[in-house]
């Protein structure tokens, strides 16, 4: 009988691990998913024929392994006479708008990346570029302050870089930090930047700087498969025809077809351990029945605070206290279906309904609570039931049980529509329908008890057959490809009999996987 690997969670990390184990064939993966669907926060939510991508997922990675893995699941569709891109040294022609799907519709599109900042009721390029629009929007006085503060930060950087504020001021200068980073970041996390660890900035905007943005503006290039382009600056990306959930649904199908198993509505309540090894999992099914499940290995993507709280015998008191206090930021999206948007010369719209070309727009304005606006039509036209309508996603960062989280759906939809009207983007009368999606523990946070997280990590790493992967599993703000890579390394460690987790924890720290390649890091 093959050894069993129990996998907690059917998100990108859990399903990647399951498929890799199925492909190897030496062990049997069993995935325990608390909900009734796969994908985690990378799922696609359907409402009245319209599909929502929760958080927005660009399928682009610095890892060749990840890019090839995605394309093995969903091949690129396109017209051979269409736009030419470079993918890993090979030139391919790929349609960047409406690619013709295969018979089964399981395809990737190549999409143009357009992301802008909305500030002072005007649109700014993201990343900020020194073009005429930026100069005009900011005005001479503000530009002078930005330039002088950047020079000051360059000549006299803060030496003791502890907080995100220190990191950003050193990278961009005080004035640019206050203009484009401070308010939005504090809207996302709900705490001052001075209380957030500098580690967050190092992971999320590694390699991005004023100089790098200027260089990029001088040498724009297609980047759907160019692994030398910094992630924050890519111009094109791959995207599943029906949203990210389409890819993970196909992965789940292959797992089941290959002999693995996915058990839905199964909440893992805790792990039994003895002599440094997990001996069983306590699982509660959809009907409330509880059972113990034996496993030879466990790969966990569940929130660290929940994992630690369910360990039997209990973890040491210090570990329990730190884990229970680990902070998270929750998230909700309001989907709004509108017939048109307000005309705005800066919106760059070429549509009769005034829809701008952006995938998402960062809302930097202080007088509203919405943090980002997605335009799902521009991720894939197949996400929208009617191509003459605009399908929007307003993203709010909040805490469970706060005023936004607990607001009834109808009032939350009305609130969101009112904010877009206040921003001069829509008329409330043009809203046709709406829905609300709430996602708890979306963002593991880098403040408070996080400073003592190494104590928790060290204790968990001593459990010989337990491997932590993914965003919540590692309490780390991983992107989708980071989560996949941690799962890949965990599977390799299990198959090779390794107990050292250093390589797994190194993903998204000093790696060459995502933010920059070794050549870029070496200055070549």
Q: Say which DSSP state 107 is in.
A: -
The pLDDT value recorded for residue 224 is: 45
Beta partners for 139?
none
The pLDDT value recorded for residue 2 is: 94
The pLDDT value recorded for residue 390 is: 98
Inter-axis angle of helices 164-172 and 182-189, to 10 degrees?
160
Which CATH number does the domain 328-444 belong to among 3.40.30.110, 3.50.50.60, 3.20.20.70, 3.90.660.20? 3.90.660.20
Beta partners for 434?
336
What is the Rg, in whole angstroms, of the alpha carbon atoms belonging to the chain?
23
With b meaning 16 or more CB within 10 Å and e meaning fewer, what string describes 305-338?
A: bbbbebbeeebeeebbebbeebbbbbbbbbbbbb
The pLDDT value recorded for residue 85 is: 40
Residue 475 · residue 300 · CB < 8 Å: no
| Nearest CA-CA partner of 328 in 186, 444, 470, 450 | 444
Could you read off the pLDDT tens digit of each residue along the chain, which spans 524 residues? Answer: 899 999 999 999 999 999 999 999 999 999 999 999 999 999 999 999 999 999 899 999 989 999 999 999 999 975 433 434 443 334 434 444 444 444 468 999 999 999 999 999 999 988 777 778 888 899 999 989 988 999 999 999 998 999 999 999 998 899 989 988 899 999 999 999 999 988 877 666 655 556 555 555 555 544 444 444 444 446 889 999 999 999 999 999 999 999 999 999 999 999 999 999 999 999 999 889 999 999 999 999 999 999 999 999 999 999 999 999 999 999 999 999 999 999 998 999 989 999 999 999 999 999 999 999 999 999 999 999 999 999 999 999 999 989 999 999 999 999 999 999 999 999 999 999 999 999 999 999 999 999 999 999 999 999 999 999 999 999 998 999 999 999 999 999 999 998 889 999 999 754 443 333 332 222 22
Angle at the Cα of 460 from the Cα atoms of 454 and 464, rounded to 5 degrees: 135
Residue 475 · residue 444 · CB < 8 Å: yes
| Nearest CA-CA partner of 13 in 497, 473, 415, 375 | 473
The pLDDT value recorded for residue 95 is: 43
The pLDDT value recorded for residue 516 is: 35
With b meaning 16 or more CB within 10 Å and e meaning fewer, what string describes 468-495?
A: bbbbbbbbbbbbbbbbbbbbbbbbebbb
The pLDDT value recorded for residue 524 is: 24
Q: Dihedrals φ, ψ of 14, to 5°?
A: -65, -45
The secondary structure element, H or E, covering residue 188 is helix 182-189
Q: What is the pTM of this model?
A: 0.87
Pairing of the two strands 390-398 and 372-375: antiparallel
Query: DSSP labels for 257-309?
Result: HTT-EEE-S-EEEEEEEETTEEEEEEEE-TTS-EEEE--SEEEE-S-HHHHHH
Question: Would you kindly state where each structural domain of the chain is located, as residue ranges?
Answer: 4-40+247-326+448-506, 116-220, 328-444
The CATH homologous superfamily to which domain 4-40+247-326+448-506 belongs is FAD/NAD(P)-binding domain (3.50.50.60)
């Amino acid at each position: 009988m093959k050894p069993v690997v129990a996998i907690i969670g059917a998100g990108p990390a859990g399903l990647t691990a399951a498929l890799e184990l199925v492909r190897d064939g030496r062990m049997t993966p069993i995935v325990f998913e608390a909900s009734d669907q796969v994908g985690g926060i990378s799922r696609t939510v359907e409402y009245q024929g319209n599909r929502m991508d929760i958080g927005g997922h660009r399928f682009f990675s610095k890892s060749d392994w990840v890019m090839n893995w995605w394309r093995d699941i969903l091949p690129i569709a396109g017209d051979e006479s269409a736009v030419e891109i470079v993918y890993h040294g090979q030139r391919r022609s790929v349609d960047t708008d409406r690619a013709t799907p295969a018979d089964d519709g399981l395809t990737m599109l190549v999409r143009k990346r357009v992301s802008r900042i909305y500030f002072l009721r005007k649109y700014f390029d993201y990343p900020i570029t020194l073009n005429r629009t930026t100069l005009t929007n900011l005005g001479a006085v503000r530009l002078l302050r930005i330039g002088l503060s950047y020079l000051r930060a360059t000549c006299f950087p803060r030496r003791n870089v502890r907080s995100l504020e220190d990191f950003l001021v050193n990278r961009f200068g005080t004035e640019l930090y206050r203009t484009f980073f401070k308010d939005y970041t504090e809207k996302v996390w709900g705490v001052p930047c001075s209380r957030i660890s500098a580690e967050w900035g190092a992971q999320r905007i590694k390699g991005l700087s004023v100089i790098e943005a200027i260089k990029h503006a001088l040498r724009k290039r297609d980047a759907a498969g160019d692994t030398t382009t910094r992630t924050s600056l890519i111009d094109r990306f791959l995207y599943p025809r029906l949203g990210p959930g389409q890819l993970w649904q196909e992965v789940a199908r292959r797992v089941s077809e290959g002999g693995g198993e996915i058990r839905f509505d199964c909440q893992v309540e805790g792990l039994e351990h003895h002599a440094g090894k997990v001996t069983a999992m306590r699982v509660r099914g959809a009907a409330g029945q509880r059972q113990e499940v034996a496993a030879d290995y466990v790969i966990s993507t569940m929130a660290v605070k929940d994992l630690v709280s369910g360990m039997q015998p209990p973890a040491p008191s210090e570990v329990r206290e730190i884990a229970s206090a680990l902070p998270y930021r929750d998230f909700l999206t309001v989907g709004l279906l509108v017939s048109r948007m307000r005309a705005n010369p800066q919106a760059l719209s070429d549509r009769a309904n005034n829809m701008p070309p952006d995938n998402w727009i960062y809302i930097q304005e202080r007088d509203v609570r919405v943090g980002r606006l997605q335009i799902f039509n521009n991720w894939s036209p197949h996400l929208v039931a009617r191509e003459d309508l605009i399908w929007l996603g307003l993203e709010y960062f909040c805490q469970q049980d706060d005023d936004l989280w607990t607001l009834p759906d109808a009032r939350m939809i009305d609130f969101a529509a009112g904010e877009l009207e206040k921003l001069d983007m829509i008329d409330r009368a043009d809203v046709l329908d709406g829905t609300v999606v709430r996602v708890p523990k979306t963002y593991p946070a880098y403040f408070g008890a996080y400073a003592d997280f190494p104590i928790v990590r060290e204790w968990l790493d001593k459990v010989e057959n337990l491997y932590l992967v993914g965003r919540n599993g590692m309490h780390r703000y991983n992107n989708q490809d980071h989560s996949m890579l941690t799962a890949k390394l965990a599977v390799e460690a299990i198959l090779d009999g390794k107990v050292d987790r250093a390589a797994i924890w190194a993903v998204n720290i000093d790696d060459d996987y995502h933010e920059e390649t070794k050549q870029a890091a070496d200055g070549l």
